[in-house]
Structure 1
Amino acid sequence: MASQWKNSNGKFPEGKYIDHVNSEQAGWRSLGVRIREQPPCDEPIRNPGFSDHAVSLLLSKSIKVESFYKGKWRGLRQYFKGMGSLTPAGHECVVRRHFEGQSSLASLVLILHQDSVDSVAQELSRPGFTCKTVLNEVPFLDDPFVTNLSSSVVSALKAGAPDFYAQAAAQWLAAHLLLGSSRGIEWHKSLARERISDYRLVRVLEYIDAHLSDRLDLRALSREAGISQFHFAALFRKAVGASPHRHILQLRLQTARSMLCHTDKSILEIALSCGFGTESHFAAAFRREFSQSPMNFRSSQRAHSGFGEM
C-alpha cells in the first residue's frame, strides 16, 4: 500500500509533506481524514496538543519510534503497516522516528471531533451500562477494527460518499475507542435486543422519499424517528438490511436510472435532483452500481427502445 503513495519526483514542497487525501476537499465535517507523505527526518518532532483526537496509522512498511517522557527518550517501538497511535485532544508529545533507509513515510490520520466523543459517551452511559467518557493516549495501537474501518472510510471518501457517511463512521469509531473490544461486544449484544417500531420506520422512509434531493444526514433522520442518532443507524440497518447511507444511495440511483430512461433532462439536472452534489460524483456512483456511465446507459436504452426512429 505504501507504494501507492510514493512521491514520484522525490521532492517535497515547502511544507515538508504531501497530502494525498484530504476529507475537507470532499466537504466532510464529521470526521477528518488525511493521507500524508513526509520525507525522512531524524530530528525530534514536537506534536502540539489539538482540540480534537487523532488516530494515526502507518501506511509504510515499518518504522521505529521513540517518545520523550519525563526528560528521557524511552519506549523504542517498531510499528508495521496498519499499526499506529491514538493521541487525545490537548495532548502534546515529542517523538523521534528511525527511518532506516526509507525514502519517505506515509501515514493515515483520522481526526475525531470532541463533540462526537461526548455525544457517544452520553448515549453509552445508560442505566446498567457504563463506560469511560474520555479517550486516553494509546501510543501503540494495533487494532484490526480501527485498521479495517480506516480502510473503508478512505474507500468511501474516494467514492464521493457524503458527510452523511462520515457521521456514522465517526460514531462507530468513538464507540469502539470508548468501550474497547470486550465492552464493544457486550454493547452490540444489548443493541441486538432493540428494534425500531414499524410506525417510526415508515415515518423515516416516507421522509427520505420526500426529501431525496435534499442533503440528508443522521440528525434529520434520527429526529424524524424520535431516536438518538447514535442508535438510529444500527436500528435502521437491522430493520431495512442496509445502512441509512447505502439505502438512500440505492434510492437515488434507481430514481436517476428511471429519469435517464424516461426524461430528456441533462445528466447534471438529474444528478442534482437526485441529491448528488456534483455530476462527477453521480457519474462515479452510477458507474460502480451499473457498470456503465449515465450517458452510455441512456444511449443504450434509447437504442434498444428505438427512440428517435422514424
Structure 2
Amino acid sequence: MSGDGPAWADLFVQVYSRNDNQEPFLVPAVAEPLIVWIMSGQAIVEERDLQGEWLASHVGVDDFFLTRSPTPYEMRWRSTGADPFQVMHLYLSVPLFERVACEVLGRVAPPVLRDISGGKDEQLSHLLALIRQELTAGGKGSHLFIQGLAQSLAVHLIRTYASGETSDDRHNALPGFKLRRAVAHLEEHLAEPFSLAHLAEAVGMSAFHFSRLFKKATGLSPSRHLIRQRIAKAQQLLQETDLSIIEIGTSVGYSSPSHFAQVFRRETGLPPSHYRRG
C-alpha cells in the first residue's frame, strides 16, 4: 500500500507487512528525510554502518526511526510478539523540507536532523496516524488535508530533531523517487541481462551520473545491486515454493545451474540445496 498522485507530491508513503525474521538489507542514502513507524507488532531491530557493529533497539507500536543519513547502512530485525510486524515508511520531499526549514529557522541552509532509533514521540505518532488514515481512504483522501499534514510533519521534525548544524550540499544525492524507480526496474527485469544504459534511461539520467549517484546512495554499483536482488528473490523462492533449484536459477537470470550455485554460495555462504533444507 502506498500513497500516489498529486495529493502525495510532498510525501512518499508505503506500508509493509514484514517477515518475522529479516536478513540484513541495505538502507540507501537518499536526499529525503525518512521515517519508519511501527504500526503493529514488536521486534528487535538492529542497525550498523557498513561492516560495523550491530546496535539493537527493542521496538513496539508507535516507536519510530528517523534518518537522513548521507551514507548507506544495514538493518535487520527479529519479531518478538504474536502480532504481525507492520511498518510505515515515509519520505518527506526535499523542497518541502527546505521551504519549511527556511520559514521556521529563518535561514536558507536546511538543518541536519538527528538520527533516532526506536524513539517515542506522541505528537509525531498522531500525525503519522492521520497520514495512515488518509492513505487508506480509498481515493477519498483530501488534497488540502494531506498537504497540511506534510507541512505539519516538516515543522515538527525541524522544531524537535534539528541538530543545530547545517546539512552538506544534498544536490549530489540521488532523489529517493529515482532510486525507488531504479530498484523497481531491476526487480521487474531480474531474469534479463543487466543494462546500465536501459536502467539509467528508465530513471531519466545519464548512465555515468546515475551510476555514480546510485553507488553513493547504496554503497553498491547497479550491477552488484541486481545480484543482491536476484539472490534475495532466489532465497524467497527456495523457502516458499517447491520449484526446482534449476527453475529458480533460471527465473532470476542464471541459465547455468553451476553459475547460479556459485553466485548463491558466494552471497549467502551456503549452496542453494543446503539453504532450502535449513
Provide, for residues 78-102 of structure 1, a one-character-per-residue CA deviation record: whole Å limited to 9, x for no partner.
0010101012164422112122475
**2:132 alignment partner in structure 1:** 154
Stretch deviating more after TM superposition (44-53 or 67-76): 67-76
Unaligned runs of 5+ in 1: 1-20, 183-310
Q: Which letter maps to 2:118?
A: F
CA contact (8 A) 2:98 2:109 kept: no
Q: Matches of 2:161 and 2:29 in 1, distance apart? A: 27
Which stretches of structure 1, 4 residues or longer, exceed 6 Å deviation after superposition?
Answer: none
Unaligned runs of 5+ in 2: 163-278
Stretch deviating more after TM superposition (159-168 or 109-118): 159-168
For 1:122-161, list aligned pairs within 5 A: 122-126=102-106, 133-159=111-137, 160-161=140-141
What secondary structure is seen at the aligned counterpart in 1 of 2:74? strand
Q: Matches of 2:96 and 2:128 in 1, distance apart? A: 17
Mark the CA change 1:106 to 1:25 in structure 2 (over 3 Å): closer, same or farther.
Answer: farther
CA contact (8 A) 1:29 1:163 kept: no
CA contact (8 A) 2:113 2:161 kept: no
**1:29 alignment partner in structure 2:** 9
Q: Matches of 1:26 and 1:151 in 2, distance apart? A: 20
Matched, 1:168 2:148: yes
* Fraction of identical pairs, as percent: 19
Shift in Å, 1:137: 1.8
Q: Matches of 2:57 and 2:69 in 1, distance apart? A: 23
**2:78 alignment partner in structure 1:** 98
**2:20 alignment partner in structure 1:** 40
For 1:286-305, list aligned pairs within 5 A: none
Q: Which letter maps to 1:141?
A: G
What secondary structure is seen at the aligned counterpart in 2 of 1:117? helix
Stretch deviating more after TM superposition (161-170 or 173-182): 173-182
Q: Matches of 1:27 and 1:90 in 2, distance apart? A: 28
Matched, 1:88 2:68: yes
CA contact (8 A) 2:11 2:150 kept: yes
Q: Normalised by the size of structure 2, how large is the TM-score? A: 0.51
Q: Matches of 2:117 and 2:74 in 1, distance apart? A: 12
Shift in Å, 1:42: 4.0
What secondary structure is seen at the aligned counterpart in 2 of 1:50? coil
What secondary structure is seen at the aligned counterpart in 1 of 2:112? coil
Q: Which letter maps to 1:135?
A: L
Q: Matches of 2:161 and 2:91 in 1, distance apart? A: 20
Q: Which letter maps to 1:99?
A: S
State the Cα RMSD in Å.
3.0
CA contact (8 A) 1:131 1:179 kept: no
Mark the CA change 1:50 to 1:96 in structure 2 (over 3 Å): closer, same or farther.
Answer: same
Shift in Å, 1:143: 0.7
**2:89 alignment partner in structure 1:** 109
Shift in Å, 1:164: 2.3
Q: Matches of 1:101 and 1:177 in 2, distance apart? A: 29
For 1:270-309, list aligned pairs within 5 A: none
**1:59 alignment partner in structure 2:** 39
Q: Matches of 2:92 and 2:130 in 1, distance apart? A: 16
Shift in Å, 1:73: 2.7
Which structure has more RCO (C-alpha within 8 Å, separation ≥ 6)? 2
What secondary structure is seen at the aligned counterpart in 1 of 2:141? coil
Q: Which letter maps to 2:65?
A: S
Q: Which letter maps to 2:42?
A: S
Rg larger in structure:
1
Shift in Å, 1:64: 0.5
Mark the CA change 1:23 to 1:89 in structure 2 (over 3 Å): closer, same or farther.
Answer: farther
Q: Which letter maps to 2:8?
A: W
Q: Which letter maps to 2:38?
A: L
CA contact (8 A) 1:39 1:103 kept: no
